Amino acid sequence: MEAFIEDRVNQWLSGNYDNETKSKILELKEKDKDLLFDSFYTDLTFGTGGMRGKMGVGPNRMNKYTIGAATQGLSNYLKKVFPNKSLSAAIAYDSRINSNLFAQITANIFTANGIKVFLFENLRPTPELSFAIRELKCDTGVVITASHNPKEYNGYKVYWNDGSQIVSPHDQKIIEEIQAIKAVEQIHFNGNEQLVNRVGSEIDEAYWNMLDNLVYLPNDFPSKKNLKVVYTPIHGAGIMLMGEALKRQGFENVLLVEEQSKPNGNFPTVNYPNPEEKEALTLALKKATDANADIVLANDPDADRVGVAARDSQGELHLINGNEMVSLVFHYILSQRRKQNKGTSNDFIVKTIVTTDLINRIADHFNVNCYDTLTGFKHIANLIREKEGVENYVVGGEESYGLLIGDKIRDKDGISAAVLISEMAAQAKSEGKTLVDKLMDIYIQFGFYMEKTTSIYREGKKGAEEIAEIMEKFRKASPNSFNGEKVITQIDYLNLEKKSIGSEIEKISFPKSNVLQFITDKNTKVSIRPSGTEPKIKYYISANDSLDSKDKFQETKKSLEQKITAITEKLGI
């Protein structure tokens, strides 16, 4: 064992940590030195979604003390930013193991520092936490969740007073405050219950009322009542809001996947509680098949994402991926705003740099500004904040099944997204169409865009080093072509440089991020980035072609699939 690790372990064993923690450390020291090493070799840090990691003992794990240091550091920072102010914080948590415990620890530390707390009485979706911060006019907020990660994980997301996840400079300054905590004695664990306010139904009610401003069809629109919806919260917090949200918008025929309706941090019916994965929707798809349902809706455990399946022209259920979903939603919203004269000359929409460029084509058609941001809804929220009062935000989205409709919330919201997607399906049904038919219409009008995302997992310190080596390799030896298409532009978001053939290197205006993009002369795009929340590197491939008619769909689809497969092989993934 490296001396550095030995020293860190001994600090925990000799420090003012509880006996249960020390016993677990001693057990690891005796039985699993590799796990001990991974638990102590580094500290959990804030990525695109805050602090997230496996639960266990040590500074590289989610536990009482890492949660404690984060909350104490945040408290110290708040007092510096808002001196002489009566501070308040909202706290929510999902169904994960220890989420309730971690939320209570967070509340204790805030109140021990004199900060008033609004703590949800029961689990709630992450977007409701963002909404509550704005509704209650809090200075900060924390939600305990690891989103769609496996059951061994938990997380700690920090929000600012506008309801958005923290961005620069706050994120780095909070980290500095956390790193300044050198001893567990600096963490104030003994809370003041008098400063804790339990909230729940009143915020739910305000949230449900807010949804009225995000939809375009009346509650009595005939197809809403007749649309048959299957919904699963995948053992998560979506169960707290979704049923009532759909009911209030006129959807009466909603079937719940009972086997996944009860909150359970072990996620017993799935391998991985991620609505991006077909396996997680197995039970919902079966129920939809048996009931001949029109659509399937599935939230991840904290309900900030939504997965969707809909019938195709042959009546078969088709899984709609994230890029297809955002294309449908953006097109629907902009179409309805034009049809109902709700659009303004300063409307804008937002997508991330790895989300389909089909969105740009749709935005051009409706003469609406479309901005790109880095991955993570904190960047979309930051753009909303920057343009507030100057331009009118309409909708933002990303390929990983996230949507933010309207600006009352400042994080992705799988509840409001599911309500709007249900409305889209009802509107399509009124025309004798499905969401898949609508997607086909978009492809014929704007071009057939196909995307594939591949994730390569690399755990622990060695894995992090391998991922760093992969990124360095692509920076030093950039590909010249993909599948016979010449790479004409390379964008490096870490060095903030754009290199195009025949042009001088341009500086780009973005926050720094470890992302590389390669664009060919046929507008094929390859993006590579390490995940900010999971131990993996992600490859995004986007290819496109024109689609003249529905009859040409299968032929064009096959051609694009072959192109993407060839690029995948060239990348060695």
The residues with which 375 forms a beta bridge, in sequence order, are: none
Q: Are 449 and 544 in contact (CB under 8 A)?
A: yes
Q: Are 474 and 516 in contact (CB under 8 A)?
A: yes
For tokens 């991926």, what's the residue? 321
Please give the backbone phi and psi of residue 289, each rounded to the nearest 5 degrees, phi first: -65, -45
Separation between Cα atoms, residue 45 and residue 532, nearest integer Å: 10
Separation between Cα atoms, residue 475 and residue 377, nearest integer Å: 26
Supply the DSSP symbol for 368: -
Q: Are 438 and 424 in contact (CB under 8 A)?
A: yes
Count of CB atoms situated within 10 Å of the CB of 473: 10
Q: Are 102 and 62 in contact (CB under 8 A)?
A: yes
Marked catalytic residue, from 147, 164, 223, 527: 147
Based on the residue annotation, tell me whether 147 is a catalytic residue of this protein. yes
Q: Which amino acid is at 48?
A: T
CA angle, residues 543, 545, 551, in degrees to nearest 5? 125
The residues with which 507 forms a beta bridge, in sequence order, are: 497
In 176-305 the beta strands, taken as DSSP E runs, fall at 196-199, 229-232, 254-256, 295-299
Tell me the two tokens of residue 437: 């038919």
Q: Write the DSSP assignment of 103-156 as a string of letters.
A: HHHHHHHHHHTT-EEEEESS---HHHHHHHHHHHT-SEEEEE--TTS-TTEEEE
Separation between Cα atoms, residue 564 and residue 315, nearest integer Å: 27
Residues 6 or more apart whose Cβ sits within 8 Å of residue 553 = 440, 443, 448, 547
Active site residues: 147
